[in-house]
């Protein structure tokens, strides 16, 4: 039986992948079972920011797995403290709560915000509200899809948890109008990834910081995709020089080999968690902690954040030039760029398929936007290789 046919037979169809069966990856390259090699310009939605099979990550993975891999946090393990200390240092936060997936870290942030609202701000239990942005994507648990504005994420999964107020993304006035005495937190992505790499207006994060300070509200930023070097800074919010009260990280933290995530905040917020108030069997296990620590060190030692800033500006400029007349907008920061195909200029999904045929793997979102997010380890020559093939496909599409 064909491998793709077998997968479709036994796997729930909650994704619609391109009809390519991948076999192995190395660095920025992915090879299918027929031996065809393609450039990865998607990075597993930023989870593979360090490339496929980074030697330092694999070394730590193997060494730690031989010593001690997965235990619950019923016991202390040696790697956890150094990992979280390093993570707090680069994030400018005091404490962290380790989890596995991004969605789990978002759920952790929601619980932290609600408990802080009740215990510290004095909101009646069960009445805390969290302001979120339209077109958000924070994960797919029932709580999270409940405050999504994409009906396809919600269809058939209700009833949903109350306590979320949605406002237009980037609209400071709408956020201010939505704040009430029951508002515990504002939870947003500093750049919306799944929505198509959408940036808010300049100064919006600074304005939100000021609003939160005036109204005793927590500012919580979801940097699962945008963080850890993707935009040319450690975190996207640093482009505006703000400091959030809570920070959600994941994806790249696992070095492309293991699910690692965390919620970070001040000691005042984190000390509200006590034994039994939250947990995860795998969250913060020894293997995850060792990998997460090494991933942070690789980003730092190999100057991948600086590379993202430099090559990202170059990639955006090249994509803007080659899609003139085809794209209505090219937007992004660092090695994270969205090309929005103009109405009537073509179908983004079909263009993505043609890019794959030309040797470049990427993905469309919301029908109109093609996302480019190569591993931060990509070289100038590798990026040029991919961009040359993109240029040929876009030129053919424009004819």
Predicted confidence (pLDDT) per residue in 266-284, tens digit: 999 999 999 999 999 999 9
pLDDT tens, the chain, 399 aa long: 588 999 999 999 999 899 999 999 999 999 999 999 999 999 999 999 999 999 999 999 999 999 999 988 899 999 999 999 999 999 999 999 999 999 999 999 999 999 999 999 999 999 999 999 999 999 999 999 999 999 999 999 999 999 999 999 999 999 999 999 999 999 999 999 999 999 999 999 999 999 999 999 999 999 999 999 999 999 999 999 999 999 999 999 999 999 999 999 999 999 999 999 999 999 999 999 999 999 999 999 999 999 999 999 999 999 999 999 999 999 999 999 999 999 999 999 999 999 999 999 999 998 899 999 999 999 999 999 999 999 999 999 987
How far is residue 292's CA from residue 297's CA, in Å, rounded to a whole number?
9
Taking Cα atoms as reference points, which of 384, 308, 390, 385 lies closest to residue 341? 390
Our answer to whether residue 222 is catalytic in this structure is yes
CA torsion through residues 230, 234, 240, 245, sign: positive
How far is residue 341's CA from residue 323's CA, in Å, rounded to a whole number?
9
Taking Cα atoms as reference points, which of 79, 84, 105 lies closest to residue 95? 84
Task: Indicate which residue of 147, 235, 245, 251 is catalytic.
Answer: 251
Between the alpha carbon of residue 382 and those of residues 28, 40, 360, the distances in Å are: 8, 10, 11
How far is residue 330's CA from residue 19's CA, in Å, rounded to a whole number?
27
pTM for this one?
0.97
Taking Cα atoms as reference points, which of 168, 134, 169, 175 lies closest to residue 151? 134
Our answer to whether residue 75 is catalytic in this structure is no
Task: Indicate which residue of 147, 164, 222, 363 is catalytic.
Answer: 222
User: pLDDT tens, 209-223?
Assistant: 999 999 999 999 999
Task: Indicate which residue of 83, 137, 169, 372 is catalytic.
Answer: 137
Our answer to whether residue 263 is catalytic in this structure is no
Residue pointed to by tokens 């750049």? 191
State the angle between helix axes of 286-301 and 55-67 in degrees (0 to 180), rounded to the nearest 10.
160
How far is residue 111's CA from residue 129's CA, in Å, rounded to a whole number?
11
Domain architecture of the chain: domains with CATH: 3-53+303-398 (3.90.1150.10), 55-301 (3.40.640.10)
């Amino acid at each position: 039986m064909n491998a793709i046919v077998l997968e479709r037979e036994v796997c729930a169809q909650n994704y619609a992948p391109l009809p390519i069966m991948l076999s192995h990856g190395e660095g920025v390259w992915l090879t299918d079972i027929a031996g065809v090699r393609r450039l990865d310009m998607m990075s597993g939605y930023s989870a593979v920011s360090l490339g496929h099979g980074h030697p330092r990550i694999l070394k730590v993975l193997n060494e730690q797995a031989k010593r001690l891999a997965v235990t619950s946090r019923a016991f202390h393990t040696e790697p956890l403290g150094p990992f979280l200390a390093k993570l707090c240092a680069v994030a400018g936060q005091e404490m962290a709560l380790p989890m596995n997936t991004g969605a789990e870290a978002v759920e952790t942030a929601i619980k932290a915000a609600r408990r802080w609202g009740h215990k510290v701000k004095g909101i009646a239990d069960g009445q805390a509200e969290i302001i979120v942005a339209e077109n958000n994507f924070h994960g797919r648990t029932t709580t999270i899809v409940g405050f999504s504005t994409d009906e396809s994420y919600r269809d058939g999964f209700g009833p949903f948890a109350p306590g979320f107020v949605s406002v237009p993304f980037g609209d400071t006035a709408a956020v201010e109008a939505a704040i009430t005495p029951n508002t515990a937190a504002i939870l947003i992505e500093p750049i919306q990834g799944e929505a198509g790499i959408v940036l808010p207006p300049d100064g919006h994060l600074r304005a939100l910081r000021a609003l939160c300070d005036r109204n005793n509200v927590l500012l919580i930023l979801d940097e699962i995709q945008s963080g850890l070097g993707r935009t040319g800074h450690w975190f996207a919010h640093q482009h505006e020089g703000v400091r959030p009260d809570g920070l959600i990280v994941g994806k790249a933290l696992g070095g492309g080999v293991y699910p690692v995530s965390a919620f970070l905040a001040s000691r005042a917020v984190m000390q509200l968690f006590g034994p039994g108030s939250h947990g995860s069997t795998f969250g913060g296990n020894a293997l995850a902690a060792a990998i997460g620590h090494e991933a942070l060190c690789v980003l730092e030692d190999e100057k991948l954040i600086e590379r993202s800033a430099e090559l990202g500006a170059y990639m955006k400029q090249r994509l803007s030039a080659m899609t003139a007349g085809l794209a209505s907008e090219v937007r992004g920061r660092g090695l994270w760029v969205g090309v929005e195909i103009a109405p009537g200029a073509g179908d983004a999904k079909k263009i993505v398929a043609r890019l794959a045929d030309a040797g470049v793997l990427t993905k469309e979102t919301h029908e109109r936007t093609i996302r480019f997010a190569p591993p931060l380890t990509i070289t100038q020559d590798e990026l040029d290789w991919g961009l040359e093939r993109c240029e040929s496909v876009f030129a053919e599409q424009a004819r």
